Amino acid sequence: MAHPLVSRKDHGQSHAINEGMERATGDVCGWLCSDDWLCPGALAEVGRHFADRPDSRWLSGAGLARRLPGGPQTRYAAGRRGRLGFLAFWDYGGDGHCCPQPSTFWRRELWREAGGLREDKHLAMDYDLWLRFEERARLDVSPQALSLSRLRDDCKSAKFRREQGLEMMRSAYESCRRRGRSPASLTLAMLRWLPGHRLRWFGRFLRRRWLRPAAEYLLSIPLDPVLVWREAYRLRIVRPRF
């Protein structure tokens, strides 16, 4: 039975989504934000997957993103890389290492086990949820593009990128502790990733003849082993990409 539309003051986006999930019925769940569309055939693909795979608890498909007005369209493949999976917050959001939120669906029991969205998270609530899903279930991936996100310069994630990055980083460290891992091991993993990251950006700056940023990047490399232990320094390096 369909529930009537409810429009009233709430305690933020996460609270509103949690309330919607409480009212919703059905075994397979997901949510769609106002600037997102489902691609043709998306729900049929999701239905087939969960019908054919009764053991599957969590599915993510590729996502399309288009910058408005009139910007290019980008395709992001869903998936996770490496032994750390989504704990590697510094790499999250790239092609093949993300869960495009409107392209992600799950069984209601997994949502309940994970506890739904944390209502103190306002910018990275989906990433935080994926970490808790990952602690409980294997991620299944569809190569099919299931959604299109329309990105605007005034959208929340664009206006508050620093705050979103901070929420993501703190969620990863919280998940690390829940998994019984030392937070220091996550910082060390980021430190191992940093030299390659620095060199990639150094090459980009050289190709564009941006000599001063290139020099600053070279000078940063010797400081990384000392400064990477500071949250503010890690945040300067990492920015959300999706």
- Which among 33-37, 178-182, 214-218, 224-228 has the top mean pLDDT? 178-182
* Mean pLDDT confidence for 22-44: 93
Tens digits of residue pLDDT in 40-54: 999 999 999 999 999
* Mean pLDDT confidence for 168-174: 97
Q: What is the pLDDT of residue 159?
A: 77
Report the percent of the chain where pLDDT is more than 70.
Answer: 93
* pLDDT of 168 over the 90 cut: yes
pTM beyond cutoff 0.75? yes
* pLDDT of 239 over the 90 cut: no
Q: What is the pLDDT of residue 242?
A: 36
Q: What is the pLDDT of residue 1?
A: 43
Domains of the chain in start order, with CATH, are: 13-159 (3.90.550.10)
* pLDDT of 196 over the 50 cut: yes
Q: What is the pLDDT of residue 44?
A: 97
Tens digits of residue pLDDT in 53-109: 999 999 999 999 988 887 888 999 999 999 999 999 999 988 899 999 999 999 999
* pLDDT of 240 over the 50 cut: no
Q: What is the pLDDT of residue 154?
A: 67
Tens digits of residue pLDDT in 102-155: 999 999 999 999 999 999 999 999 999 999 999 999 999 999 999 999 877 766
* pLDDT of 3 over the 60 cut: no
- CA dihedral angle for residue 218, residue 222, residue 223, residue 228, rounded to 10 degrees: 100
Q: What is the pLDDT of residue 241?
A: 47
